[in-house]
Amino acid sequence: MEANQPVVVAARRTPVGTAGRSLARLDVTGLAAPVLAALVEDVTALGLRGPEGSVAVDDVVLGNCCGPGGDVARVAALAAGLGTGVPGVTVDRQCGSGLEAVRLGAQAVAAGEGTLVLAGGVESASTMPWRLARPAGPTQPPRAYTRAPFAPPGFADPEMGAAADALAAATGVDRPRQDAYAVRSHDRALAARARGVFDAETVPVGGVAADERPRRVDARVLARLRPAFTAGGTATAGNSCGINDGAAAVALVPEAARAAAGVPGLRVLAAAVVGVDPALPGIGPVPAVRAVLARAGRRLDEVAVLEVTEAFAGQVLACTDALGLDPFGADAERVCPDGGAIALGHPWGASGALLVVRLFARLVRDPAARAGDLGIATCAVGGGQGIAVLVERVG
């Protein structure tokens, strides 16, 4: 095992709130800074100190999609009290931004450019700015818009809900399966919360200590909901994610530092980013997972846990079907085993990092986890991309 191989040794997140509700008073800095500060405390407690006896953060990498602009990571690092000497960079790969930040942080550690990198993501849908396009002419008013294009003219550029409907229709994922998957997500999140799975990872912020969204859901009630995005579609408010606020991040160190401290972690074995048809962006995890496994010389049947952003139940099921996985049966403990974004929420820029936090809970904090267990985090990305990161329990 190479000394510079990147390893996740700590993973933290805020509670996830519904936009306009429990975390609405906090902007991206208010969400991200407490998570970064908690990670430094965790690393200090693990004994991962530098040669001077203190914890020195080499860089902060955060994903963010719809924030205020500027360098959110640097602002959050300063607000977290990390010191003026700690830089930060903010990245945007849409819904894969948080996982992209982890990928970039791991690359920096592997290249020997840092011995402690904090990487993750943050989103505050509650405080995202209004956007106005410049007037097209001197007599025309500014034009409001909600997002930048996912693709240029000449390519399909659907909203993600409409794209999820199209993918479900193209792959034969019917409405009852989607509603059943939504129930599964909420039931598993509630069960995980009852077991205390989320306690060690959650950083209370703004007086909020628990996720707002998970609840008891009845499939019969879900069946009565109308399509939310397209006429005759199958994605509804009940089997889709919410619009949410939250932050998540991990601490990455070289394997040599982890081994010296004698603590467990998640070694980053490989990462992959792929492009797919912008008309069906939700299928992106399928080629991304295949690519990352091929890169590492591993097989899907070796993977203990697959965490995929549950933006829409139909999209997740289309991907698991294509990969040959059954989240209702044989693979129930492998696919999002503690619930996902349908139950917990989907704070866009943070969601990819939230997946790594989920892997850390299953493969490191869980007493049943074993050295050598593999996990994959993967996201679909608007505009037609997929991203995946493969990790292995060490220590």
Catalytic (active-site) positions: 95, 346
Give residue 216's Cα distance to chain centre. Answer: 23
* DSSP β-ladder status, 59-63 and 6-13: unpaired
Cα radius of gyration (the chain): 20
Please give the DSSP secondary-structure letter assigned to residue 61: E
Cα dihedral 156, 161, 167, 173 in deg (nearest 10): -170
Q: Tokens in use for 72? A: 């959110």
For the chain, strand residue ranges (E) read 6-13, 17-18, 59-63, 88-91, 117-124, 131-133, 143-145, 244-254, 265-275, 303-308, 374-381, 385-394
d(CA 240, CA 345) in angstroms, rounded, equals 9
* Residue from 193, 174, 175 nearest 185 by CA: 193
Please, what is the angle between helix 160-171 and helix 313-323, to 10°?
40
